[in-house]
Amino acid sequence: MTAPLATEPATEPAEAPAPADPLVEVRDLTITFPATGGADAVRAVDGLSFTLRPGGALGIVGESGSGKSTVAATLLDLHRGTGARTEGTVRVAGTDVLAAPEADLRALRGATAAMIFQDPLSSLDPYHSLGDQIAEVHRVHRPGVSRRAARARAVEALDRVGIPDAARRARSRPHEFSGGMRQRALIAMALACEPRLLIADEPTTALDVTVQAQILDLLHTLRTETGTGLLLVTHDLGVVAGSVDDVLVMRGGRAVEHGPVTEVLGAPREPYTRALLAAVPRIETARERAAHAGVAYEEEGREAGAARRGADAGRRGPAAGRPADSPRPAGPARPDDSAPPADSARPDEPVRPAVPAARTAVATVTDRVPRPTTGDDDHNGAPLLEARGLRREFGRGGPLGSVLGGDRTVAVDDVSLTVAAGETLGLVGESGSGKTTVGRMLVRLLDPTAGTLRYRGRDLGTLGERALRPLRGELQMVFQDPVSSLNPRRTIGESVADPLRAAGGLDDATVVRRARELLERVGLDPAWYHRYPHEFSGGQRQRIGIARALAPGPRLLVCDEPVSALDVTTQAQVMDLLAELRRDLGLSVVLIAHDLAVVRAASDRVAVMRAGRIVEEGPVDTVYDHPQHPYTQGLLAAVPVLDPEVAAERRAARARV
Amino acid sequence: MTAYVLRRTGGALLVLLLLSVAVYALFYVAPGDPATLACGPRCNAEQIAQVRDQLQLGEPLPVQYLHFLQGLVTGRDYSTGTGVLHCPAPCFGLSYQNDQPVAQLLASRLPVTASLAVGAMVLWLLLGVGTGLLSALRRGGATERVLTVLTLTGTATPVFITGLLLLMVFCATLQWLPFPTYVPLTEDPEQWAWNLLLPWTTLALLESAKYARLTRSATLETLAEDHIRTFRAYGLCERRIVGRHALRGALPPVVALNAVDLGTMFGGAMLTESLFGLPGLGRLTVESVRTVDLPVVVGAVLGVGAAVVLAGAVADVLYALADRRVTLT
């Protein structure tokens, strides 16, 4: 608990305080959410102070549960009326936000300081057109403006953020826009009243890299043109690198480090910042991930209860279950998500000791499940799985399809790929490129419309359900969302045991024992067998999902965005686990991800998908270092970089294009 | 959209066809011989045989059913020995009671039922949506609890109790309202409304709790959505947020449920019509069942079936219109 952490910024930001009053001034802000239903009160923000000068840009970064979004919402006192207790002072453009009367606060919201939310689809009213929504906000703050003038203003704002044909598109509802266009529309709403401060809460998290780059460029342009201040909240260090002047790193409701972006990212002083930076997968580095910074820091703020992750217990002992040449440093690991959740209302749960037992579990589990590597057909060069000309259409079909006006969408078109035994194939592409559809076809969760699928010499694509059943266990899938892919009403042990029971032939005691071994294998305490999914953190839930996929003894694991919902440090741990399993069990893995860096770190070969087709495929280093297809080149160029100067250069390059 | 309508119509016709088979079987499973019933209590054996012949009851069952279907499309002639009774399409047969074509009989009762159903609907929507919205805004408070108890009481009390109480209080004791008799809208709109006020209220009290609960939960659900937070963060006042954004989000399920309920009401609110002596479809059905007037029963059941099926389709279309993210396929 002795954290070597500064609770206050170690130094003031480099610039001398601006002569004008600061745009935002936060002093000793503490926010406590009251206890609900057995859970203790949560101190989400704990004594935070910072300022933002007019026209300046501050990035607040931190992992989920660090309190960063809570701070953003407090600038508009969005917690008012929710029961949250806020202490300290928050001044935005001269208004004492926490003390301001309701009417003053409403005048501030949207007009002086406007907020841009993370998910633009759910943040806009689905029942009204975009133009109407923007016009409505404008009229609320400019009561004299006529309906017609407000609508014209909305069109102007939409045009300003780069929505083509704005006059016509203003009449569309949010669901008729793509993700990037929706985020532009939300920014247009923020601009409608020419605010002095933009508060962007994870504005690009739901977007593809290329779109993310566009949105960040847009924010930058608007800021430089109008002198609007920007407070950017994000978990992605790459996003802040190119977008802000100052960075505030938060953890457990407190400021860990605060300073100019070049210093914080270039020469971080605090171990936590270094660990955070180290956990970011780098697109530049080759296969084996660069050594994680060997820093030790301890979980603090447990009493704050804000951090969802539990105590900092080394899941494995130093380098346990890891080959000797692993670049990973010995010593206490990064914060691990496999400890019991801090808020699971069982504070007395003993922290699981570092167990070399993980290795024992490998032996016990894999002795019983067929080892893929023992099959003599695995090393004779023939691919484990081979797809030729896969095609998948969605929509109404059949002979009546054309008559009844059904139109078919081609999600995947002529995709051919192979997966060798023990190999990891990365599948990257933007949303809608068809990568998930391909993944599901590979394990026959979806039937291909056309094309052949051969698995160990058998024609997988045309097997009937009955003939397919014995193979189902060998082809397993790990899903993106560990929350919705686990049954909330079954204990995690039961969820893992289900595939074993479905296979039949095992008595109950054996099934339970094996399920416990599997839990241990993925770094969870077997004693948690009887717990329910909601008691676990995101990373732990993904481990449960992996344990369930391992249960029937698969040879091929299709992982569909296995880490996209996780924080960087947790993400790195889950990827490590997958790599370890692949090595120890000889699994073949198809890794589907939109995060190019994650794929590079984990894959042997990579296939780039776009609009249902594979545009480029090859060994991972070749594709990343010498991309041939313009689409791949664009994709790689859009990946945010951690170096602020490089980020600025790239932005300039994009602007020139 | 065209494809949707085509498919939906096809499905509806199929449902009605199956229903007609089931209902037609009534002729033969119902107690009593159709010919005897049609002829009346004073017929002798010879007359009954004659009627049997007229109704073509001697033919095999499937052939009779086909005649019935054909009658629905083209109409049918019944010879009475002395003359010919024409039953225009859609012909469900002739009433055993007075030889009137069933379709005509149904049509004459429809305005009554329509008046009752539509008026009651307006009332239950006002009452239900209003209460639901109010309880959503005052959730957890005393207002909500009182409203919940009131609406649930309305639903839990059978029509014949609510209706009788209303009659006793407003017509007998206070004498504010006339004892209801049906006055056609076209004759005297004012009397029409006054006379129907109590039946409307009775039905509305019965139905409104459902709408109150639905509106309440849908509004609360919408209020918890992210876009409501957006408008709060953009300085809209609470009244505007609820009136313009939360209620709008709560509407689609209410609209859809309402279409289905209205369809069911067209089947006739039998209890309400009987209680208030309104000559609607519900009362016609009850009477024809009591007198074993089989053609009328068949016609009424098919009519109700058509109304319900149509209402289901209308509900879907309305839902899609209320929520443009929904596409009909």
Q: How far is residue B129's CA from residue B100's CA, in Å, rounded to a whole number?
A: 43
User: Cβ–Cβ of B234/A110 closer than 8 Å?
Assistant: yes
Chain B residues near residue A123 by CB distance under 8 angstroms: 226-227, 229-230
**pLDDT for A255 beyond 50:** yes
**pLDDT for A377 beyond 60:** no
Angle at A614 between CA A609 and CA A616, to 5 degrees: 95
**pLDDT for A629 beyond 90:** yes
The whole-number pLDDT of residue A397 equals 52
Chain A residues near residue B248 by CB distance under 8 angstroms: 125, 127-128
The mean pLDDT value for B64-86 works out to: 81
Q: Which helix (H) or strand (E) holds A95?
A: strand A95-96
Sorting pLDDT into bands at 50, 70 and 90, what band is B28? low
**pLDDT for A444 beyond 80:** yes
Give the pair of three-digit tokens for residue A106: 């409403």
Can you give the pTM of this predicted structure?
0.74
The whole-number pLDDT of residue A323 equals 36
Choice between A251 and B6, residue whose per-residue pLDDT is larger: A251
Sorting pLDDT into bands at 50, 70 and 90, what band is B78? confident
Residue for token digits 């003053």?
A104
Name the least confident of A404-408, A443-447, A521-525, B168-172.
A404-408
**pLDDT for B150 beyond 70:** yes
User: Cβ–Cβ of A140/B225 closer than 8 Å?
Assistant: no
Partner-chain residue, chosen from A140, A173, A186, that has the shortest CB–CB distance to B236: A140
Residue A434: C-alpha distances to residues A204, A471, B17, B161, B172 (Å): 21, 24, 44, 62, 73
The whole-number pLDDT of residue B128 equals 92
Q: Measure CA B19 to chain center.
A: 17
Sorting pLDDT into bands at 50, 70 and 90, what band is A164? confident
Contacts of A147 (CB under 8 A, 6+ apart): A135, A139
The whole-number pLDDT of residue A430 equals 85
The residue of chain A with its CA nearest to that of B322 is A127
Chain A residues near residue B227 by CB distance under 8 angstroms: 122-126
Which listed CATH number (3.40.50.970, 1.10.3720.10, 1.10.10.10, 3.40.640.10) goes with B102-322? 1.10.3720.10
Partner-chain residue, chosen from A106, A115, A127, that has the shortest CB–CB distance to B249: A127
Contacts of B101 (CB under 8 A, 6+ apart): B87, B88, B91, B92, B93, B94, B95
- Tell me the three state secondary structure of residue A35: coil
| Mean of pLDDT over chain A | 80
Work out how many CB contacts closer than 8 A connect A with B.
Answer: 85
Pairing of strands B76-79, B84-87: antiparallel
B314 min Cα distance to partner chain A (Å): 20
The mean pLDDT value for A38-53 works out to: 87
Query: A653-657 long-range contacts, Cβ below 8 Å, gap at least 24?
Result: A654/A213, A654/A217, A655/A217
The whole-number pLDDT of residue A294 equals 34
Is the complex ipTM more than 0.90? Answer: no
The mean pLDDT value for B304-316 works out to: 85
| Mean of pLDDT over chain B | 85
Partner-chain residue, chosen from A106, A122, A406, that has the shortest CB–CB distance to B226: A122
Q: Which of A331, A333, A326 is nearest to A309 (CA)?
A: A333
Partner-chain residue, chosen from B3, B227, B323, that has the shortest CB–CB distance to A122: B227
Most confident residue range from A230-234, B79-83, B143-147: A230-234
Sorting pLDDT into bands at 50, 70 and 90, what band is A366? very low
Give the pair of three-digit tokens for residue A76: 């508009």
Among chain B, residues having any CB pair with chain A shorter than 8 Å are: 1-3, 6-7, 225-227, 229-237, 240, 244-245, 248-249, 323-325, 329
Q: Measure CA A554 to chain center.
A: 26
A194 min Cα distance to partner chain B (Å): 12
A365 min Cα distance to partner chain B (Å): 45
User: Cβ–Cβ of B226/A123 closer than 8 Å?
Assistant: yes
Partner-chain residue, chosen from A117, A122, A141, that has the shortest CB–CB distance to B235: A141
User: Cβ–Cβ of A106/B2 closer than 8 Å?
Assistant: no
Choice between B32 and A653, residue whose per-residue pLDDT is larger: A653
Partner-chain residue, chosen from A106, A119, A125, that has the shortest CB–CB distance to B245: A125
- Tell me the three state secondary structure of residue B39: helix
Partner-chain residue, chosen from B233, B245, B248, that has the shortest CB–CB distance to A76: B233
Choice between A547 and B31, residue whose per-residue pLDDT is larger: A547
Q: Where are the domains of chain B?
A: 14-87, 102-322
Specify whether the CB–CB gap between A199 and A187 falls below 8 A.
no
The mean pLDDT value for A135-151 works out to: 92
The whole-number pLDDT of residue A286 equals 53
Q: How far is residue A114's CA from residue A186's CA, in Å, rounded to a whole number?
A: 10
Residue type, A475: L
Sorting pLDDT into bands at 50, 70 and 90, what band is A81? confident
Q: How far is residue B275's CA from residue B203's CA, in Å, rounded to a whole number?
A: 12
B21 min Cα distance to partner chain A (Å): 29
Angle at A51 between CA A47 and CA A57, to 5 degrees: 125
Partner-chain residue, chosen from B225, B229, B237, that has the shortest CB–CB distance to A106: B237
Domain A358-641 indexed as CATH 3.40.50.300? yes
The mean pLDDT value for A148-173 works out to: 90
Residue type, A441: M
The whole-number pLDDT of residue A179 equals 81
Strand order in the sheet with A450-455: A409-419, A385-394, A450-455, A458-459
Chain B residues near residue A409 by CB distance under 8 angstroms: none
The mean pLDDT value for A475-490 works out to: 87
Sorting pLDDT into bands at 50, 70 and 90, what band is A119? confident
**pLDDT for B82 beyond 80:** no
**pLDDT for A6 beyond 60:** no
Residue for token digits 């601006």?
A18
Name the least confident of A1-5, A232-236, A391-395, A528-532.
A1-5
User: Cβ–Cβ of B227/A78 closer than 8 Å?
Assistant: no
Sorting pLDDT into bands at 50, 70 and 90, what band is A396? low
The whole-number pLDDT of residue A380 equals 52
The whole-number pLDDT of residue A378 equals 43
Chain A residues near residue B231 by CB distance under 8 angstroms: 125, 137
Q: How far is residue B91's CA from residue B69's CA, in Å, rounded to a whole number?
A: 9
Q: Which of A74, A123, A193 to mutate to test the interface with B (most CBs of B within 10 A)?
A: A123
Most confident residue range from A60-69, A174-183, A347-356, A616-625: A616-625
- In angstroms, the first-to-last Cα distance of chain A is 51
Chain B residues near residue A406 by CB distance under 8 angstroms: 3, 329
Give the pair of three-digit tokens for residue B94: 């002739």
The whole-number pLDDT of residue B268 equals 64
Pairing of strands A254-260, A246-251: antiparallel
Among chain A, residues having any CB pair with chain B shorter than 8 Å are: 76, 78, 105-111, 114-115, 117, 119, 122-128, 136-137, 140-141, 173, 175, 186, 189, 396, 403-406
Q: How far is residue A371's CA from residue A359's CA, in Å, rounded to a whole number?
A: 16
Q: Which of A70, A97, A127, A402 to mutate to test the interface with B (most CBs of B within 10 A)?
A: A127
A259-282 pLDDT, tens digit each:
999 999 989 999 999 988 888 888
Name the least confident of A355-359, A615-619, B227-231.
A355-359
User: Cβ–Cβ of B226/A141 closer than 8 Å?
Assistant: no
Partner-chain residue, chosen from A123, A140, A403, that has the shortest CB–CB distance to B230: A123
Neighbours of A367 (CB within 10 A): 8
Q: What does DSSP assign to residue A188?
A: H
User: Cβ–Cβ of B324/A117 closer than 8 Å?
Assistant: no
User: Cβ–Cβ of A405/B236 closer than 8 Å?
Assistant: no
The residue of chain B with its CA nearest to that of A195 is B234
Chain B residues near residue A136 by CB distance under 8 angstroms: 236, 244
Chain B residues near residue A408 by CB distance under 8 angstroms: none
User: Cβ–Cβ of A125/B249 closer than 8 Å?
Assistant: yes
The whole-number pLDDT of residue A624 equals 92
Residue type, B291: T
A103 min Cα distance to partner chain B (Å): 9
A283-328 pLDDT, tens digit each:
776 544 433 333 333 333 333 333 333 333 333 333 333 333 333 3
Specify whether the CB–CB gap between A58 and A231 falls below 8 A.
yes
The residue of chain A with its CA nearest to that of B252 is A127
The whole-number pLDDT of residue A291 equals 37
B211-261 pLDDT, tens digit each:
998 999 999 989 888 899 999 999 998 888 888 888 888 888 898 889 888
Chain B residues near residue A76 by CB distance under 8 angstroms: 233
